[in-house]
Amino acid sequence: MLLIRCPYCEEERPELEFRNAGEAHIARPTNIAAESDDDFEKFFFIRANPKGVIYERWRHIHGCARFFNAVRDTVTDRFVMTYKAGEPKPAKLPGASK
Amino acid sequence: MNAAFRISGAGRLSQAKTASFSFDDKPYIGIEGDTLASALLANGVHLVGRSFKYHRPRGFLSAGAEEPNALVQIVRDDARKTPNVRATVQELYDGLTANSQNRWPSLAFDVGALNDIASPLFSAGFYYKTFMWPKWAWKDLYEPKIRAAAGLGVSPDKPDPDHYAARYAHCEVLVLGGGAAGIAAALAAAETGVRVILADEQAEFGGSLRFESGARIDGQGGYAWAQAAIAKLKAMDNVRVLSRTTAFGYYAQNFVGLVERVSDHLKSPGRELARERLWQVRAKRVVIATGAIERHMVFANNDRPGVMLASAARTYLNHYGVAVGRNIGVYTANDSAYAAAIDLKKAGINIAAIVDLRDNPAGPVIDEARALGIEINFGRAVVSAGGKLRVSSMTVQPKNGGGERTIPVDAILMSAGWTPSVHLFSQSRGKVAFNDATKRFVPGTYAQDCVSVGTCCGTDGLAASVDEAYAAGAKAAKEAGGKAGKGAKPKVDAGESWSRGMLGAAPGAGPGTTVKAFVDFQNDVTAKDIRQAVHEGMHSIEHVKRFTTNGMATDQGKTSNMHGLAIAAETLGKPIPQVGLTTFRAPYTPVTFGSIVGHARGALFDPTRRTATHGWAASHGAVFEDVGHWKRAWYFPKAGEDMHAAVDRECVTVRKAAGLFDASTLGKIEVVGPDAAKFMELLYTNPWEKLETGRCRYGIMLREDGFIYDDGVVGRLAPDRFHVTTTTGGAPRVMNHMEDYLQTEFPHLNVWLTSITEQWAVIAVQGPKSRDIIAPLVDGIDMSDEAMPHMSVREGKICGVPTRLFRMSFTGERGFEVNVPADYGEAVWEALWAEGQKHGATAYGTETMHVLRAEKGYIIVGQDTDGTVTPNDAGLDWAVGKKKTDFVGIRGLTRPDLVAKGRKQLVGLKTKDPKVVLEEGAQIVADPKQAIPMKMIGHVTSSYWSENCGRSIALALVAGGRDRMGQTLYVPMPNGTIEVEVTGMVFVDEKGERLNG
Ligand SMILES: [Zn+2]
- Which of B450, B744, B746, B749 to mutate against chain A (most A CBs within 10 Å)? B744
Chain B contact residues (CB < 8 Å to A): 251-253, 255, 280, 282, 429, 447, 704-705, 736, 739-740, 743-745, 747, 885-886, 890-892, 894-896
Please write the tens of the pLDDT for every residue from B449-483: 999 999 999 999 999 999 999 999 999 999 999 98
- Which of A28, A43, A47, A87 to mutate against chain B (most B CBs within 10 Å)? A28
Helix (H) or strand (E) holding B338: helix B336-346
- Say which residue, B301 or B131, is predicted with more confidence: B301
Backbone angles phi, psi at B401, to 5 degrees: 100, 160
Confidence at residue B270, expressed as pLDDT on a 0 to 100 scale: 84
Give the length of chain B.
Answer: 997
Secondary structure tally for chain B: helices H, strands E? 25, 52
Neighbours of ion ligand 1 (CB under 5 A): A 6, 8-9, 60, 63-64
Q: Does A13 touch chain B (CB under 8 A)?
A: no
* Mean pLDDT along residues B973-989: 97
Contact (CB, 8 A) for B672 and B869? no
Residues A32 and B706: their CA atoms lie apart, in Å, by 12
* Share in percent of chain B as helix, strand, coil (round to 5): 25, 30, 45
The 3-class SS string of B125-151 reads: CHHHHHCCCCHHHHHHHHHHHHHHHCC
DSSP three-state, residue B655: helix
Confidence at residue B681, expressed as pLDDT on a 0 to 100 scale: 98
Confidence at residue A32, expressed as pLDDT on a 0 to 100 scale: 97
Backbone angles phi, psi at A44, to 5 degrees: -95, -35
Please write the tens of the pLDDT for every residue from B710-719: 999 999 999 9
Quick one: how far is CA B432 from the chain centroid?
Answer: 27
Q: Cα dist. B464→A62, B176, B180, B494 in Å?
A: 49, 18, 11, 11
Please write the tens of the pLDDT for every residue from B362-403: 999 999 999 999 999 999 999 999 999 999 999 999 999 899
Please write the tens of the pLDDT for every residue from B654-684: 999 999 999 999 999 999 999 999 999 999 9
Q: Is the pLDDT of residue B990 over 80?
A: yes
Q: Is the pLDDT of residue B142 over 90?
A: no
Confidence at residue B118, expressed as pLDDT on a 0 to 100 scale: 66
Q: Is the pLDDT of residue B122 over 80?
A: no
Task: Choose among B276, B842, B339, B370: nearest CA to B594.
Answer: B276
Using a CB-CB distance cutoff of 8 angstroms, which residues of chain B are in contact with residue A59?
A: 736, 739-740
- Residue by residue, DSSP assigns B759-783 as TEEEEEEESTTHHHHHGGGEES---
Please write the tens of the pLDDT for every residue from B803-848: 999 999 999 999 999 999 999 999 999 999 999 999 999 999 999 9
Any alpha helices (H) in B347-438, and if so which ranges?
364-371, 423-427
Residues B676 and B325: their CA atoms lie apart, in Å, by 86
CA B430 to chain A, closest CA, distance in angstroms equals 10
Confidence at residue A36, expressed as pLDDT on a 0 to 100 scale: 97
Residues B712 and B691: their CA atoms lie apart, in Å, by 15
Pairing mode, if any, of strands B904-911 and B667-672? Answer: unpaired
Please write the tens of the pLDDT for every residue from B691-730: 999 999 999 999 999 999 999 999 999 999 999 999 999 9
Q: Does A65 touch chain B (CB under 8 A)?
A: yes
Please write the tens of the pLDDT for every residue from B215-256: 999 999 999 999 999 999 999 999 999 999 999 999 999 999
Residues B620 and B643: their CA atoms lie apart, in Å, by 15
Distance A4 CA to ligand 1 centre (A): 10
- ipTM greater than cut 0.85: yes
Please write the tens of the pLDDT for every residue from B45-56: 999 998 888 889
Domains and CATH numbers, chain B: 1-156 (3.10.20.440), 165-292+420-494 (3.50.50.60), 297-415 (3.50.50.60), 503-573 (1.10.10), 665-762+771-823 (3.30.1360.120), 898-996 (2.40.30.110)
Percent of chain B with pLDDT over 90: 88
Using a CB-CB distance cutoff of 8 angstroms, which residues of chain B are in contact with residue A27?
A: 745
Contact (CB, 8 A) for B724 and B663? no
Using a CB-CB distance cutoff of 8 angstroms, which residues of chain B are in contact with residue A1?
A: 251-253, 255, 280
The identity of residue B292, as a single letter, is A
HSE-CB of B537 using CA atoms within 13 angstroms: 1
* Mean pLDDT along residues B607-628: 97
- Say which residue, B103 or B490, is predicted with more confidence: B490
Residues B96 and B77: their CA atoms lie apart, in Å, by 11
Q: How confident is the model at residue B325 (pLDDT cuts 50, 70, 90)?
A: very high
Distance B822 CA to ligand 1 centre (A): 29
DSSP state of B879: G
Using a CB-CB distance cutoff of 8 angstroms, which residues of chain B are in contact with residue A65?
A: 739
- CA dihedral (B653, B659, B662, B668) in degrees, to 10, reads 120
DSSP three-state, residue B562: helix
Confidence at residue B141, expressed as pLDDT on a 0 to 100 scale: 58
Task: Choose among B157, B155, B165: nearest CA to B269.
Answer: B165
For residues A1-15, b (16+ Cβ closer than 10 Å) or e, as one string? ebebebbeeeeebbb
| From A1, A21, A77, residue closest to B740, measured CB to CB | A21
Are the beta carbons of A67 and B743 separated by less than 8 Å?
yes
B634 CB contacts (<8 Å, ≥6 apart)? B622, B623, B624, B625, B643, B845, B846, B847
Q: Does A89 touch chain B (CB under 8 A)?
A: no
Q: How confident is the model at residue B75 (pLDDT cuts 50, 70, 90)?
A: very high
Q: Is the pLDDT of residue B145 over 60?
A: no
Residues B397 and B377: their CA atoms lie apart, in Å, by 10
- Which of A5, A32, A37 to mutate against chain B (most B CBs within 10 Å)? A32
Residues B696 and B725: their CA atoms lie apart, in Å, by 11
Distance B727 CA to ligand 1 centre (A): 28
Q: Is the pLDDT of residue B115 over 60?
A: yes
For residues A36-63, b (16+ Cβ closer than 10 Å) or e, as one string? eeeebeebbeeeeeeeeebbbbbbbbeb
Q: Does A21 touch chain B (CB under 8 A)?
A: yes
Backbone angles phi, psi at B134, to 5 degrees: -65, 160
HSE-CB of B844 using CA atoms within 13 angstroms: 32
Residues B462 and B496: their CA atoms lie apart, in Å, by 6
HSE-CB of B27 using CA atoms within 13 angstroms: 6
Q: Cα dist. B183→B176, B195, B257, B626 in Å?
A: 10, 15, 20, 53
DSSP three-state, residue B233: helix
Contact (CB, 8 A) for B387 and B307? no
Please write the tens of the pLDDT for every residue from B739-794: 999 999 999 999 999 999 999 999 999 999 999 999 999 999 999 999 999 999 99
The alpha-carbon radius of gyration of chain B (Å, integer) is 38
Confidence at residue A98, expressed as pLDDT on a 0 to 100 scale: 40
Are the beta carbons of B705 and A32 separated by less than 8 Å?
no
Residues B423 and B414: their CA atoms lie apart, in Å, by 23
Work out the angle at residue B515's Cα, subtended by the Cα atoms of residues B511 and B520, and round it to the nearest 5 degrees: 90
Instruction: Catalogue the long-range contacts made by B67-70 (C-beta closer than 8 Å, 24 or more residues apart).
Output: B67/B37, B67/B555, B68/B520, B68/B521, B68/B522, B68/B553, B68/B555, B68/B558, B68/B559, B68/B560, B69/B303, B69/B521, B69/B522, B70/B37
Q: Cα dist. B311→B209, B223, B354, B872 in Å?
A: 11, 15, 15, 76
Backbone angles phi, psi at B359, to 5 degrees: -80, -55
Task: Choose among B911, B918, B906, B921: nearest CA to B981.
Answer: B911
Q: Cα dist. B248→B273, B424, B610 in Å?
A: 22, 8, 39
Pairing mode, if any, of strands B450-452 and B276-288? Answer: parallel
Residues A2 and A79: their CA atoms lie apart, in Å, by 9
Residues B936 and B925: their CA atoms lie apart, in Å, by 5
Distance B864 CA to ligand 1 centre (A): 37
Confidence at residue B487, expressed as pLDDT on a 0 to 100 scale: 85
CA A93 to chain B, closest CA, distance in angstroms equals 19
The identity of residue B271, as a single letter, is R
Confidence at residue B123, expressed as pLDDT on a 0 to 100 scale: 64
Residues B470 and B996: their CA atoms lie apart, in Å, by 85
Task: Choose among B302, B306, B296: nearest CA to B47.
Answer: B306
**Architecture of the domain defined by A3-84:** 2-Layer Sandwich (3.30)
Confidence at residue B3, expressed as pLDDT on a 0 to 100 scale: 85
Contact (CB, 8 A) for B731 and B628? no
Q: Is the pLDDT of residue B138 over 60?
A: no
Average pLDDT, chain B: 94
Query: pLDDT averaged over consecutive 10-residue blocks of chain A (98 residues)?
Result: 95 95 96 97 96 96 97 90 95 70
Distance B282 CA to ligand 1 centre (A): 20
- CA dihedral (B984, B989, B992, B993) in degrees, to 10, reads 160
Confidence at residue B384, expressed as pLDDT on a 0 to 100 scale: 97
Distance B757 CA to ligand 1 centre (A): 23
Q: Is the pLDDT of residue B206 over 80?
A: yes
Confidence at residue A97, expressed as pLDDT on a 0 to 100 scale: 46
pTM for the structure as a whole: 0.88
Are the beta carbons of A40 and B447 separated by less than 8 Å?
no
